[in-house]
Structure 1
């Protein structure tokens, strides 16, 4: 089964762009089905209240639990002091399998990392090209798995992406997803140096086409067992340790 590890859903309340307004799944679901994608990790768009947003994601997952996994969004600033409670609800009640953080909201904190450690869930952290923090995360929280989307930069910062490849090769707990990576040679280099076991397929749906994003993985021309690691095996391994 192919699993998309990176898809947004729900309504935001910012109204500055699609990323904080709405992420409807209808077109995504058809596109994913045609691409052969059988399961998807869902998390909220940007929102001023991630507790409410996570509950909305949970309702979507609950309606189709065989099709979706949920990840809990947390705001490093607004949710300070209530992270453990939010994770308790998201993981113990809703069955969520990971955490999503975006540096647009704020830089990742110890409170969030320690919550991930307690519940043994991976953290998908969009660091917006600020790759140097990966060295600190990898060493301070060696028992927490971090997935860095877009190979470190949705903005196509090749310097950041090259730097992240070095972290993939050196640190056992650092992973990357393929969503939005435009420089194919860098994706190839990430697999060559980090290994297929460090890369996860993600689409950044519903805005990017999941079939197009999956085609990049297939064009890597990997042995079937390595392609399966990227398309499903690595995510399944990372979420298998969740402490409910």
Structure 2
């Protein structure tokens, strides 16, 4: 199974850039199907109220239940005091399987880390080039799975990406996704030094083409088992770790 571990869906309300205005899926889903992608992890676009955005994402995920896996989005400063409640609602009511935090909103706090640990779900955290934050998070919560998108920097900060490669080696439960990584040799370094089990395929759709991002993984020239892990096995393992009963969740074996 090929799982795209990084995609946005739904509407934002800030209207100042594509990523906070709209994340339409019609073209993405067509492109993903053509590329051979079976499932996709989706989270909301940037929004002024992530409780509203998470609720709006839920029917999108339900409408494409055989293809989409929902992650909640939270703002660790603005949502302080209600994060556990938001995640509880997202997991129990909507069947979401993880949480995203973006450093432009605010870095992860103990509140969000405690919540994801309670539910046994991964936390995808965009550190926006501040790779040192990962050492703080992984040190304080060694039993939480952290996914670092863009290998630490969508802005092509090679220093941050180099640091994240080192962190993947040192921290057993820190992973990176490949979305938007332009310096290809850093992806090579992840596999060589940290191993294929620490890298997750992601596209950053619908803004980036999933077929293009997928081809970067194919070009790594890994052994079939390692490639299968990066393309879906690693994410599948993290998604199956949640502690709650699965009754309200979409089966991950569906194609």
Q: Same fold (TM over 0.5)?
A: yes
Structure 2 segments unaligned to the other structure (5+ residues): 245-255
Per the alignment, residue 128 of structure 1 pairs with 128
SS at match of 1:81: coil
Per the alignment, residue 237 of structure 1 pairs with 237
SS at match of 2:4: strand
Task: Please say if 1:38 is aligned against 2:43.
Answer: no
Which whole-Å CA distance do the structure 1 matches of 2:62 and 2:9 have between them? 14
Query: Taking structure 2 as the reference length, what is the TM-score of the superposition?
Result: 0.95
SS at match of 1:47: coil
Task: Please say if 1:102 is aligned against 2:102.
Answer: yes
Matched pairs, number: 244
The Cα of 1:108 is off from its aligned counterpart by 1.1
1:1-244 matches, cutoff 5 A? 1-244=1-244
The Cα of 1:243 is off from its aligned counterpart by 2.5
The Cα of 1:164 is off from its aligned counterpart by 0.4
The Cα of 1:102 is off from its aligned counterpart by 0.2
Cα shift readout 1:208-241 (whole Å, capped 9, x = no counterpart): 0000000000000000100000000000101111
Cα shift readout 1:188-216 (whole Å, capped 9, x = no counterpart): 00111110000000000000000000000
What RMSD in Å do the two structures reach over aligned CA positions?
A: 0.6
Structure 1 segments unaligned to the other structure (5+ residues): none
